[in-house]
């Protein structure tokens, strides 16, 4: 059995060393099929109410977004930059929470999600 914490450690080490997950697993003597089976199992588990799974992340993350009053469809005449007041809450399955609030453009939200 591979724990969520071990999967998170492998992901972090892979990013820090700049090596592929498969190569790192080979170095550690962990069968790739076992790692990916547990990764898939954890990613399919239920997430807290009000949160949406963010696909393609590992460790799995969930996200909740709330838009503030005003324009919720992007650009408007009053706001040429397309910024909306938003609150984005991210939570990994290991329990790490993060909240980002403020005027965010679609590009900023994309960048945040891409960095997961």
Residuewise pLDDT in 10s, the chain (116 residues): 888 889 989 999 999 999 999 999 999 999 999 999 988 888 776 555 556 655 554 444 555 555 554 444 444 444 445 567 777 777 776 677 778 888 878 788 778 777 76
CA–CA separation, 86 and 65 (whole Å) = 7
One domain for residues 41 and 72: no
Let me know whether 61 and 96 are in one domain. Answer: yes
Tell me the residue range of the domain where 13 lies. 1-45
Tell me if the pTM is above 0.75.
no
Instruction: Quote the CA–CA distance of 70 and 88 in Å, as a whole number.
Output: 17
My answer on whether 100 and 115 are in the same domain is yes
Q: For residue 59, say if its preceding peptide bond is cis, omega within 30 degrees of 0.
A: yes
Claim to verify: residue 53 and residue 94 sit in the same structural domain: yes
Q: How far apart are CA 72 and CA 109, in angstroms?
A: 13
Cβ contact 105:81 at 8 Å: yes
């Amino acid at each position: 059995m591979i724990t969520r914490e071990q999967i998170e450690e492998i992901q972090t080490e892979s990013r820090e060393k700049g090596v592929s997950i498969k190569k790192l697993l080979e170095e550690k003597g962990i069968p790739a099929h076992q790692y990916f089976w547990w990764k898939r199992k954890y990613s399919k588990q239920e997430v807290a109410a009000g949160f949406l799974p963010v696909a393609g992340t590992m460790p799995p993350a969930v996200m909740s977004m709330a838009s503030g009053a005003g324009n919720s469809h992007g650009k408007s005449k009053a706001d040429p930059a397309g910024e909306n007041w938003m609150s984005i809450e991210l939570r990994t399955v290991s329990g790490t929470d993060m909240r980002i609030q403020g005027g965010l453009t679609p590009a900023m939200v994309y960048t945040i999600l891409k960095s997961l």
